[in-house]
Amino acid sequence: MSLTPDQFRKGAMGGLVPSPSPFLTPRPERRRADSRGPDWFFNRQDRDKEVNVQVLLRCRPLSEDEQKMNVSRVISCNELKREVTVLQNVANKQVDRVFTFDKVFGPKAQQRTIYDQAIAPIVNEVLDGFNCTVFAYGQTGTGKTYTMEGGMRNKGGDLPAEAGVIPRAVRQIFDTLEAQNADYSMKVTFLELYNEEITDLLAPEESSRYAEDRQRKPISLMEDGKGCVIVRGLEEEAVYSANEIYTLLERGAAKRRTADTLLNKRSSRSHSVFSITVHIKESAVGDEELIKCGKLNLVDLAGSENISRSGAREGRAREAGEINKSLLTLGRVISALVEHSAHIPYRDSKLTRLLRDSLGGKTKTCIIATISPSAHSLEETLSTLDYAYRAKNIKNRPEANQKMSKAVLLKDLYLEIERMKEDVRAARDKNGIYIPHERFVQEEAEKKARMEKIEQLENDLNLSEKQSNKYHELYLTEQEQRLDLESVLKDCKVNLEKTRKELLDLQENHRAAILTLKEKEFIISKLLCSESSLIERAKELRSDLQHASEDINSLFAKLDDKDKMEAENRSIVLTFGSRLDQRLKDLHKTILGSVSQQHQQLRCMEEHAHSFLASKCDVRE
């Protein structure tokens, strides 16, 4: 999409608009300070090196309808960590997915914040002579147009809070150039790509002659042989103030094809590319005055959509199919770039041809991926996140546009003016001839060359047709194979579902088994502990037992000794008893003898006492 300074000189985008001087710098009263932000987008030291495409993610808030329906949110944004988390519940399990981007803006992010943090540095690069592209990608109704356009201007001419990237970029460019007091010129183009056809959104409609011209000369894409794409027949409007651009934008935006779908009341059905080219005079080096040229492409892609969910039918379904097809090609280009494939399928759609330099080329590119937080859009959100995440790996090799000398630019412009003047003169003077003779001859020669080319192309076409027939047959067999594969896939899906359920059961069993195993392990460890303590105890008991048996042995020996002693004692006692009996008998006899002796003696004594007493009584008497 971007053009080299050479192409600008040749008027590749429809020819330069004649102006008395290339620098018709507007001088508005109001001037603002230089608003350059931090140079995050492109480090100055890294120039001429490969840089990755910057990918920002923006999640819109839930719409009023979604809030009324109590739709649950499945997206959480961490702006500090630059992470987006998708909260998913698969088979009653929380399986969250986290994506990291260069910048993340949550539902509360304001238009101004996004612009200041992410886009302002890119616009500064444009003013430094680079070509830059910002494009919004996302599911339908996620806020691409809101992010890129938003509100254009208030009645007073100021930007409203909801002004998007385009009006803010326009304002920044004018403000910066004014603050630098620079000499500059600016041109804009605004095109729409609808069903693989390009329309000029800035072309005046009422001019019937122009409309005829346009019919004869449709806007086409051409390659310049150096890999750059030229949009032929597109009008470039010279602009001198931000308000002029806003008017053009409003005019163009009103012409964009929109439709009411189930997902968005005003859904853009086409891709739009708004480009601003700015030529800035640099301070003179020696005698030569140099002019640097930068270009900013602001692309609002049509929304990727699920046709059944967006409610697209008949014509709309075809339209959605075309949108999805071009976005699919964009996806294939991104994949091929990321995988460093030898062939990048840029030529498969006009969208990818237009964005060619922005993807893997010399342009600095920033993608704003937009998503919805709603659970209903989960599938599309995941697809956008995957798409954007892959795009982070695309590497571009930005190069500043070569500076032109003012003299060369002026010469080119004057040549162009002269050519146009000649056309006008020939049309006015000559009857029936509308171009000068020289050009007629030249164009005849060109026509002849073109006829030869056409012949050659026809031959090529025949060849291609044969090939295409072959491919068609191949396609048909592949379709059949696809159908077979689809039925196999269906079976596989059913099996997968069954296996998934079995897996879940197995997982459940596995978890229970692990729990039992743990319990058993615990019991075994406890058993081992008690076993070792039992062994200890048994050892102690054995030694006690040994001691006890020794004690019993000695006890038995003692008992034997005791028995022996008792037997001895018993015989001693017996002999003692018999001796004692004998002695006692003897004693008894002796006592009995002495008792009878005593009795005799006592009788004798009594007889003596009686005789004594009788003698005494006799005496006394």
Ligand X SMILES: Nc1ncnc2c1ncn2[C@@H]1O[C@H](COP(=O)(O)OP(=O)(O)OP(=O)(O)O)[C@@H](O)[C@H]1O
Encoded tokens for 60: 């819109």
Site for ligand X in 73-132 (CB under 6 A): none
CA angle 329, 352, 364 (to 5 degrees): 125
CB 73 within 8 Å of CB 86:
no
Closest CB 315 distance from ligand X, rounded Å: 16
Considering only residues 357 through 396, tell me which ones interact with ligand X, judged by CB under 6 A: 370
Rounded least distance, CB 500 to ligand X, Å: 34
d(CA 149, CA 111): 10
**Shortest distance (Å) from residue 241 CB to ligand X:** 26
State how far the Cα of 11 lies from the Cα of 2, in Å rounded to an integer: 13
R_g of the chain computed on alpha carbons: 56
Nearest C-alpha neighbor of 121 from the set 58, 165, 162, 186: 165
| CA 369 – CA 365 distance, rounded (Å) | 13
| Amino acid in position 115 | Y
Nearest CB to ligand X, comparing residues 170 and 253 = 253
Looking at the Cβ atoms of 113 and 578, the one nearer to ligand X is 113
Would you say 331 is a known binding-site residue? no
Q: Kindly tell me which residue out of 11, 61, 106, 345 binds ligand X, with binding defined by CB under 6 A.
A: 61
Among 9, 103, 144, 168, binds ligand X (CB under 6 A): 144
| Among the residue ranges 138-146, 429-437, 528-536, 600-608, the one whose residues contact ligand X (CB under 6 A) | 138-146
Binding-residue pattern over the window 287 to 316 for ligand X, x denoting contact by CB under 6 A: ---------------xx-------------
Cα end-to-end span (Å), the chain: 194
Q: Shortest gap between Cβ of 499 and ligand X (angstroms)?
A: 38
Q: DSSP letters along 520-574, please?
A: HHHHHHHHHHHHHHHHHHHHHHHHHHHHHHHHHHHHHHHHHHHHHHHHHHHHHHH
Residues 6+ apart with CB under 8 A from 383: 139, 304
CB atoms within 10 A of CB 424: 9
Residue number, 146 or 190, with CB nearest to ligand X: 146
Question: What's the min distance (Å) between Cβ of 120 and ligand X?
Answer: 18
Q: Specify the stretch interacting with ligand X by CB under 6 A; choose among 60-68, 151-159, 177-185, 340-348.
A: 60-68
Is 145 one of the annotated binding-site residues? yes
Ligand-binding annotation for 141, yes or no, is yes
Q: What would the two tokens of residue 618 be? A: 């006799």
Least distance to ligand X, CB of residue 69, Å: 15
Q: Could you say whether residue 143 binds ligand X (CB under 6 A)?
A: yes
Residue 396 forms beta bridges with which residues? 51
* Minimum distance from residue 110 beta carbon to ligand X (Å): 9
Of these, 131, 145, 363, 374, which contacts ligand X (CB under 6 A)? 145
C-alpha–C-alpha distance, residues 299 and 576, integer Å: 141
Nearer to ligand X, 182 or 262 (CB): 262
Which bin fits 48, alpha (ψ -120 to 50), beta or left (φ > 0)?
Answer: left
How many residues belong to the chain? 621
Residue selected from 41, 42, 99, 146 as contacting ligand X according to rule CB under 6 A: 146
Please answer whether residues 26 and 241 qualify as being in contact, where contact means their C-beta atoms are separated by less than 8 angstroms. yes
* Site size toward ligand X, by CB under 6 A: 18
Q: How far is the CB of 265 from ligand X (least distance, A)?
A: 7
Q: Is 144 annotated as a binding residue?
A: yes
Q: Kindly tell me which residue out of 8, 16, 51, 60 binds ligand X, with binding defined by CB under 6 A.
A: 60
How many other C-beta atoms can be found within 10 angstroms of the C-beta atom of residue 134? 26
Contact positions with ligand X (CB under 6 A) in 261-290: 264, 266-268
Q: Which residues are annotated as a binding site for ATP?
A: 138-145
Q: State the residues that interact with ligand X by CB under 6 A.
A: 60-61, 63, 138, 140-146, 264, 266-268, 302-303, 370
Residues in binding site: 138-145
